[in-house]
């Protein structure tokens, strides 16, 4: 199966880190007015790497209720949640067609990504989360932390009218995610992270 991507259930282990880096490049190019078509050579190179069949274990599940995670992120960002602001819909990779993710994120990223990724789609008020356990083992993080990161973007857009193309949004979301991780570790005595 070298060099082929047969379906969304494949785990592109060697592609994930390259894909995340490419996503950042796409954001910077979009801000500069460069369209996603220029990314085709980079995408072709990434897709030429051999794919490895995904771990057959069950998808990751959230440890906490999404509302608890949102409230923790809101506290960290000094946001008072309002009932008149619609909550985002959350989609998981294991139960969401890749095409749905591509259709949702393409206008925001200015290209159709070949793989699922963690993302908040501002125009649709939707969060997409990878739930592949192998990814979270490699990244040494939890699904809850990824949701906290995307909730930070949700709050930036809906409470601060931020433009997610601004690099400071990503920096803040990473900081919020790390603070959430530390707070979660403090809330669970006797458990270790990662």
Residue 20: its pLDDT value, please? 52
Is the separation of the CB atoms in 135 and 118 below 8 Å?
A: no
Residue 185: its pLDDT value, please? 74
Structure confidence by residue, pLDDT tens digits, 29-39: 555 554 444 45
Closest CA to 155 of 122, 108, 123, 128: 122
Residue 30: its pLDDT value, please? 52
- State the Cα–Cα distance between residues 6 and 20, nearest whole angstrom: 20
- State the Cα–Cα distance between residues 74 and 47, nearest whole angstrom: 38
179: left (phi over 0), alpha (psi -120 to 50) or beta: alpha
Domain map (residue ranges) of the chain: 55-187
- State the Cα–Cα distance between residues 128 and 117, nearest whole angstrom: 7
| Architecture of the domain defined by 55-187 | 3-Layer(aba) Sandwich (3.40)
Mean pLDDT of each 10-residue bin along the chain, 194 residues long: 35 45 53 50 40 60 96 98 97 97 97 96 98 93 97 98 95 96 71 41
């Amino acid at each position: 199966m070298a060099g082929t991507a047969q379906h969304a259930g494949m785990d592109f282990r060697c592609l994930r880190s390259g894909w995340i880096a490419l996503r950042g490049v796409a954001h910077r190019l979009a801000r500069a007015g460069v369209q996603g078509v220029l990314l085709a050579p980079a995408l072709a190179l990434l897709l030429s790497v051999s794919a490895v069949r995904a771990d057959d274990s069950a998808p990751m599940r959230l440890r906490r209720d999404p509302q608890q995670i949102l409230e923790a992120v809101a506290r960290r960002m000094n946001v008072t949640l309002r009932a008149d602001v619609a909550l985002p819909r959350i989609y998981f990779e294991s139960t969401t067609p890749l095409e749905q993710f591509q259709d949702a994120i393409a206008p925001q990223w200015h290209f159709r990504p070949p793989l699922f990724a963690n993302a908040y789609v501002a125009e649709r008020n939707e969060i997409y989360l990878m739930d592949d356990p192998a990814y979270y083992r490699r990244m040494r993080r939890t699904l809850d932390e990824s949701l906290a990161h995307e909730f930070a973007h949700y709050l930036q857009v809906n409470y601060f009218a931020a433009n997610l193309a601004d690099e400071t949004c990503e920096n803040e979301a990473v900081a919020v995610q790390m603070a959430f991780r530390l707070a979660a570790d403090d809330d669970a005595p006797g458990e270790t992270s990662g």
